[in-house]
């Protein structure tokens, strides 16, 4: 029981973060209590300079410790210098007669040291860390048990030095991280399960806080609205765009990347958040400008070119039926011209509707999707159908509806080109203030494990979803096939377009 009690402070030493000299002094105190009459010393190797420096020796005279501090290690430089050079245990039973102590014999005699056994302290990779020495006031040779004891002390000292170096390196890395993070323009938040561990200055501003220390120990839910917290805790890889809503602060668009960081016995998450409100605003302006230009061109095609072609068609028809009946050959050519004009009219109307399918004649998203599905069924040959709720679809801003339509159009194009599918279902669902547009096929599927889709079409769909504050989810269904879902929070739609 007494031995166990003596082990407690020794084991605590291994987990301590005190200076290395204090930790080694704890090891020495344990060893000297087990070996009466022994005084122990630990020297630390400075391999760059090729010398041994004082580590800890609480029972040895300070004058002696100063005298041997910084001596080069090598053959014949006492017990410790020789042990360091040989990388093996060196036993000097009588310092007064040992050639290894020729240069230090008088120094040892001045301080009453008669025997010295020294063992090198080595790392797992055989790197020299230092030496561990046991001094006695009388000449003596170690027993087999004492040799095992000093060997164990050397291994223990190596563990303490290794742990201390790891801890020091971790502190240095943490210091570098905090230095760099404090000057990083993006917000950096470290949390463990939602509990905030660290904020840099940019994160303090983004959260609308006064100081970083005020948030340490709080949870993300204490400083952010619930919907934002849910999105952050659900992030597994990035970057992802989310609506950033601090409690009592202004709502902004953020691009967030999440990285898991193992720290000690827990795993923290590092969030790197960038305010992309200006970028999102520009994207929306560009999208609005493109939509407006498509509407203008659609209007010109329908009401300009379409009307001109209609007039030409009437004129050609009149020439064929006028009082001056043309020859048979001419009538046939006029009939061909009439058919070509009618075909051009149909093409211009179809092009006008394609350019602005939702806005053209204000038919709305549901009807535009119905025509798109019919086109896919009739032209592409897929068994396509549209499913909408009985209650219908909520009224949407024309710009939002147009982006949803383009997402469905791109998805159906991908199905036709790549999926090898037999059927596809386009659906609209409205629940819990969220409108979900889904496109599901029974084709070969895609590798959803790749994360952010690499295809241009899928990247375009993600861009269109971001513009309207929606989330695009791409997943492979069990048994084959792909489901693409665009989830649009209806509560944020008006604000998104206004911005």
CATH number at residue 201: 3.30.450.20
Q: Is residue 179 part of a domain?
A: no
pLDDT confidence of residue 448: 41
Q: Is residue 113 part of a domain?
A: yes
Q: Is residue 300 domain-shared with residue 369, that is, in the same domain?
A: no
Say which residue, 353 or 149, is predicted with more confidence: 149
User: Which pLDDT band holds residue 384 (cuts at 50, 70, 90)?
Assistant: very high
Say which residue, 351 or 486, is predicted with more confidence: 486
Query: Which of 146-150, 305-309, 399-403: highest mean pLDDT?
Result: 146-150
Give the mean pLDDT of 378-383.
84
**Are the C-beta atoms of 309 and 344 separated by less than 8 Å?**
yes
Q: Is residue 102 domain-shared with residue 48, that is, in the same domain?
A: yes
Predicted confidence (pLDDT) at residue 359 exceeds the cutoff of 60? no
Predicted confidence (pLDDT) at residue 449 exceeds the cutoff of 60? no
Q: How many domains does the structure of the chain reveal?
A: 4
205, 200, 209: which is closest to 179 by C-alpha? 200
Give the mean pLDDT of 75-98.
95
Tokens 């407690």 label which residue? Answer: 8
User: Model confidence over 225-275: pLDDT tens digits?
Assistant: 888 888 788 776 667 777 777 876 677 888 888 887 766 566 778 888 888
Give the mean pLDDT of 30-42.
91
Predicted confidence (pLDDT) at residue 13 exceeds the cutoff of 60? no
Predicted confidence (pLDDT) at residue 331 exceeds the cutoff of 60? yes
Q: Is residue 303 part of a domain?
A: yes
User: Which pLDDT band holds residue 302 (cuts at 50, 70, 90)?
Assistant: low
User: Which pLDDT band holds residue 496 (cuts at 50, 70, 90)?
Assistant: very low
C-alpha to C-alpha distance for 486 and 227, rounded to whole angstroms? 17
Predicted confidence (pLDDT) at residue 310 exceeds the cutoff of 70? no
User: Model confidence over 97-148: pLDDT tens digits?
Assistant: 999 999 999 999 999 999 999 999 998 889 999 999 999 999 999 999 999 9
Predicted confidence (pLDDT) at residue 335 exceeds the cutoff of 80? no
Strand partners, 487: 436, 471
pLDDT confidence of residue 4: 42
User: Which pLDDT band holds residue 450 (cuts at 50, 70, 90)?
Assistant: very low
C-alpha to C-alpha distance for 454 and 460, rounded to whole angstroms? 10
User: Which pLDDT band holds residue 84 (cuts at 50, 70, 90)?
Assistant: very high
Q: Is residue 199 domain-shared with residue 324, that is, in the same domain?
A: no
Q: Is residue 322 domain-shared with residue 268, that is, in the same domain?
A: no
Least confident of 3-17, 85-99, 166-180: 3-17
Say which residue, 278 or 404, is predicted with more confidence: 404
Say which residue, 6 or 248, is predicted with more confidence: 248
| pLDDT-above-90 percentage for the chain | 27
pLDDT confidence of residue 101: 96
Q: Is residue 175 part of a domain?
A: no
Predicted confidence (pLDDT) at residue 46 exceeds the cutoff of 80? yes
Q: Is residue 118 domain-shared with residue 48, that is, in the same domain?
A: yes
pLDDT confidence of residue 497: 40
Phi, psi torsion values for 251, nearest 5 degrees? -85, 130
Q: Is residue 163 domain-shared with residue 43, that is, in the same domain?
A: yes
Q: Residue 368 belongs to a domain with what CATH number?
A: 3.30.565.10
Q: Residue 142 belongs to a domain with what CATH number?
A: 3.30.450.40
Cβ density class 450-476: b for 16+ within 10 Å, e for less: eeebeeeebeebbebbbbbbbbbebee
Q: Is residue 178 part of a domain?
A: no
pLDDT confidence of residue 453: 44
Q: Is residue 244 part of a domain?
A: yes
Say which residue, 296 or 271, is predicted with more confidence: 271
Q: Is residue 216 domain-shared with residue 236, that is, in the same domain?
A: yes
pLDDT confidence of residue 222: 86
Residue 488's contacts (CB-CB under 8 Å, 6 or more residues apart) are 400, 404, 434, 435, 436, 437, 468, 469, 470
Q: Is residue 180 part of a domain?
A: no
Q: Is residue 176 part of a domain?
A: no
pLDDT confidence of residue 360: 46
Q: Is residue 260 domain-shared with residue 285, that is, in the same domain?
A: no
How is residue 40 written in tokens?
């122990």
C-alpha to C-alpha distance for 355 and 400, rounded to whole angstroms? 15
Alpha carbons within 13 A on the beta-carbon side of 85? 15
**Mean of the per-residue pLDDT values of the chain:** 80
C-alpha to C-alpha distance for 257 and 94, rounded to whole angstroms? 66
Give the mean pLDDT of 301-321.
66
Least confident of 17-21, 293-297, 469-473: 293-297
Q: Is residue 220 domain-shared with residue 303, that is, in the same domain?
A: no
pTM attached to this predicted model = 0.45
pLDDT confidence of residue 228: 82
Q: Is residue 384 domain-shared with residue 485, that is, in the same domain?
A: yes
353-296-350 Cα angle (round to 5): 15
Q: Is residue 411 domain-shared with residue 494, that is, in the same domain?
A: yes
Q: Which domain holds residue 91?
A: 2-170
Last residue of a domain, one of 170, 204, 235: 170
User: Model confidence over 173-207: pLDDT tens digits?
Assistant: 666 666 666 667 788 888 888 888 888 888 888 88
Q: Is residue 249 domain-shared with residue 286, that is, in the same domain?
A: no
pLDDT confidence of residue 420: 85
Last residue of a domain, one of 170, 201, 224: 170
Backbone angle region of 120, left / alpha / beta, with phi > 0 → left and psi within -120 to 50 → alpha: beta
Last residue of a domain, one of 235, 252, 275: 275
pLDDT confidence of residue 380: 78
Say which residue, 394 or 122, is predicted with more confidence: 122
Tokens 């009219």 label which residue? Answer: 345
């Amino acid at each position: 029981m007494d031995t166990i009690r003596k082990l407690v402070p020794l084991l605590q030493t291994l987990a301590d973060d005190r200076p290395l000299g204090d930790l080694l002094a704890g090891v020495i105190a344990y060893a000297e209590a087990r070996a009466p009459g022994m005084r122990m010393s630990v020297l630390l190797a400075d391999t760059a300079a090729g010398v041994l420096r004082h580590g800890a020796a609480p029972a040895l005279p300070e004058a002696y410790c100063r005298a041997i501090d910084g001596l080069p290690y090598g053959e014949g430089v006492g017990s410790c210098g020789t042990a360091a050079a040989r990388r093996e245990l060196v036993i000097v039973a009588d310092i007064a007669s040992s050639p290894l102590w020729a240069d230090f014999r008088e120094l040892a005699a001045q301080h009453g040291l008669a025997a010295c056994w020294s063992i090198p302290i080595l790392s797992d990779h055989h790197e020299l860390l230092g030496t561990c020495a046991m001094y006695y006031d009388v000449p003596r040779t170690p027993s087999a048990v004492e040799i095992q004891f000093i060997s164990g002390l050397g291994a223990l000292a190596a563990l303490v030095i290794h742990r201390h170096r790891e801890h020091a390196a971790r502190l240095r890395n943490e210091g570098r991280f905090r230095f760099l993070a404090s000057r990083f323009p993006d917000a950096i938040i470290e949390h463990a399960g939602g509990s905030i561990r660290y904020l840099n200055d940019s994160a303090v501003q983004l959260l609308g806080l006064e100081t970083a220390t005020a948030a340490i120990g709080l949870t993300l839910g204490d400083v952010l609205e619930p919907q934002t917290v849910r999105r952050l805790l659900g992030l597994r890889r990035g970057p992802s765009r989310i609506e950033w809503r601090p409690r009592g602060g202004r709502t902004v668009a953020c691009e967030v990347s999440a990285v898991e960081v193992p720290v000690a016995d827990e795993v923290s998450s590092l969030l790197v958040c960038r305010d992309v409100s200006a970028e999102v605003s520009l994207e929306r302006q560009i999208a609005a400008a493109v939509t407006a230009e498509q509407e203008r061109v659609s209007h010109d095609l329908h009401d300009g070119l379409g009307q001109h072609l209609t007039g030409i068609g009437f004129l050609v028809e009149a020439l064929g039926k006028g009082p001056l009946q043309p020859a048979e050959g001419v009538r046939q050519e006029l009939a061909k011209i009439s058919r070509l004009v009618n075909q051009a009219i149909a093409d211009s109307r179809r092009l006008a509707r394609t350019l602005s399918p939702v806005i053209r004649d204000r038919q709305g998203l549901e009807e535009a999707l119905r025509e798109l599905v019919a086109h896919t069924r009739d032209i592409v040959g897929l068994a396509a159908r549209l499913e909408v709720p009985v209650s219908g679809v909520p009224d949407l801003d024309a710009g939002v509806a147009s982006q949803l339509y383009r997402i469905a159009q791109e998805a159906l194009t991908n199905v036709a080109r790549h999926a090898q599918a037999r059927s596809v279902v386009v659906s609209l669902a409205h629940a819990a203030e969220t409108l979900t547009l889904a496109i599901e096929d029974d084709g070969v599927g895609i590798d959803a494990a790749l994360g952010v889709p690499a295809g241009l079409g899928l990247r375009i769909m993600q861009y269109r979803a971001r513009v309207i504050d929606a989330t695009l989810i791409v997943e492979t269904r069990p048994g084959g096939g792909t489901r693409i879902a665009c989830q649009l929070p209806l509560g944020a739609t008006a604000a998104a377009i206004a911005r």
